[in-house]
Amino acid sequence: MDWNLKDLYSSIESKEIKYDFVKLEKRSLKFNKKYRNKISENSSAKTVLESIVELEKIYEGLGKISSYSSLLFAADTNNEKYSKFYQDSSEKISNIRKNLIFYFLSWNKISERKAKKIYSNPILVKYSHLLKSERKYKKYMLSEPEEKILDKKSITSSRAFNRLFDQTLNNLKFDIKLKGKKHTLTETEVLALLYDKERKVRTEAAKSLTEGLKSERKLLTFIFNQILTDSKITNEIRGHTSPMDSRNLSNEISQKTVDALIQTCNKYNKFPIRYYKLKSKMLKIKKFMDYDRYTPLGQSSKKFTFNQAKNIVLDSFNEFSPQMGKVAKLFFDNNWIDYKLRKGKRGGAFSHSCVPSVHPYILMNFTGKIRDVMTLAHELGHGIHQYLSRKNGYFQQNTPLTTAETASVFAEMLVFTKLIENESNNKEKLHLICSKLEDIFATVFRQIVMTNFELDVHNKAKKTGELSSSDLDASWVKANSKMFGDSIKISEYYKCWWMYIPHFIHSPFYCYSYSFGELLVHGLFAKYNENKKGFVTKYIDLLSSGSTSSPESLIKKTGLDITKNDFWEKSMYLMSGLLKEAESIYYKKQ
């Protein structure tokens, strides 16, 4: 079934679209004229309220057209009419937006004392968090001319090194000899071979990846050093005290919370270590190497129709909360999901929040595998979240990035638990659990390994200046050894694999967000298992709050304090349970 986009517009020829464009342009010009000089030190809370309500309405109007054009295009990218419509409306929208950009810039120019007086006024309670968080960078901003210089110069500094990194990696060639034949592969292709079931192939892939990377070792080391220095200089100029500061600021997460997360993960590295020991036994590999980690354990051959997937997902949601089940059912009953495979349709899956006056839409490519059942649950998790938080309006419907995956991962967990419960075949069950554990470890522990590595090298560079390739290798091995312990032997190849990780260059300290997102859900799940009835309402409230407050304070309302180690300790229960179950199934079989 294709989705029904008529809730947005009847067709691209619809008169309503033209009418909306004309209307929105007029409104935006009027808005600009009326408020251009009125958002200032002399503004009253009433003016701010009136203006922000109008601004939100204009943005929502633009959002509706933008959603319609991008969804049409996503479902049929080969359709020239749609791609032209998408292109044209994007241009028109960005032209109208130009009339509105002044608003938050002017708001940020108001002094802290005055701004606080405005956003603390009870009439602005709905927008208080938004107004406050728009100003979160203010403390670290320089004067306007200085910011302009920094921005312009970044084209030839950090942004240039980002581009150079991409170009270098994209142009790398990876030579490999497989079954007597020589091949030249791209980075993606050689990385995929690390998941091959034959050890010989994996070893060759590890060797080839290393040789390819080492052919640009000097350059990649130089680029990394420039990023470290750039970050050091920027932090000094802006007044950030720790190298992670600016990342935490944009994530709206305090250093205290990040520290608690990292400390707990470091403490529980024993889980991946125990798992790799189990896996080496399952695969009968005595000396378990880093390139053996991703060996497939066999795949589930089970197939599902879309209807079966729908029932599994709805059953698990309903069991958790009838309200959640009811919202999910809307997506099926009203055709808000486009799931069929079609030529020209975008790959992957997403849930698009659209605008509060309409509802979210989901796109996925359903092939009947168990992964697709999980994807359906994942996207519906997003969809339910987006649907419930519509009441917060266009500006605060979506959560910040760090909590954006909470509802989706939680929904997956509900379905996963159900699948495990209903699986009577022990071999299937073991594979299900192992593949889940591997996903979790990659999201939780590996990302903290990366963060520990980054912390180490940023601090070292701050103290001693430029780092050599072997300095970087040493830090990389040190960080990884914690997660591998005595379960995995690190090969000579692996020692330089910091070289290809794009996050270190493009978005320093981004990695912990993945770990945060996953473990947060485990923590919520632990709370749910502790007190099922009491938790459900609080969870639904959490989803309904959108981004009306910081993640820390929203989660606090569910009775959990993520700034404390105790919360993260409890989030380890779920993994512990899965690990025990995997071990018990395996050893019983022996």
Residues that bind Zn ion in the complex, under the rule CB under 5 A: 408
Cβ contact 508:227 at 8 Å: yes
Q: What distances in angstroms separate CA 502 from CA 165, 173, 433, one per listed residue?
A: 8, 17, 29
Cβ contact 554:133 at 8 Å: no
Specify the residue, 221 or 353, whose C-beta has the smaller distance to Zn ion: 353
User: Of 191, 586, 268, 562, which Cα lies nearest the Cα of 441?
Assistant: 268
Specify the residue, 353 or 571, whose C-beta has the smaller distance to Zn ion: 353
User: Of 421, 415, 422, 436, which Cα lies nearest the Cα of 316?
Assistant: 415
Specify the residue, 406 or 563, whose C-beta has the smaller distance to Zn ion: 406
Q: What order do you get walking across the sheet with 337-338 strand by strand?
A: 337-338, 361-363, 350-352
Specify the residue, 176 or 364, whose C-beta has the smaller distance to Zn ion: 364
- Smallest distance from Zn ion to CB 407, Å: 9
Alpha-carbon gap, residue 29 to 100, rounded angstroms: 8
- Smallest distance from Zn ion to CB 401, Å: 11
- Smallest distance from Zn ion to CB 351, Å: 7
- Smallest distance from Zn ion to CB 409, Å: 8
Alpha-carbon gap, residue 254 to 402, rounded angstroms: 12
Specify the residue, 280 or 408, whose C-beta has the smaller distance to Zn ion: 408
DSSP 289: B
The residue nearest Zn ion at its CB is 408
Number of H helices, E strands in the chain: 28, 5
- Smallest distance from Zn ion to CB 526, Å: 21
Specify the residue, 210 or 408, whose C-beta has the smaller distance to Zn ion: 408
Q: What is the dihedral of CA 526, 529, 534, 536, to 10 degrees?
A: 80
- Smallest distance from Zn ion to CB 518, Å: 11
Alpha-carbon gap, residue 287 to 293, rounded angstroms: 12
Specify the residue, 48 or 413, whose C-beta has the smaller distance to Zn ion: 413
Specify the residue, 380 or 579, whose C-beta has the smaller distance to Zn ion: 380
3-state helix, strand, coil split of the chain in percent (to 5) is: 70, 5, 25
- Smallest distance from Zn ion to CB 122, Å: 36
Alpha-carbon gap, residue 168 to 412, rounded angstroms: 37
- Smallest distance from Zn ion to CB 72, Å: 22
Strand partners, 182: 177
- Mapped onto helix, strand or coil, the DSSP state of residue 361 is strand
> 565, exposed or middle or buried, with CB in 10 Å at 0-12, 13-18, 19+?
middle
- Smallest distance from Zn ion to CB 378, Å: 6
Specify the residue, 382 or 431, whose C-beta has the smaller distance to Zn ion: 382
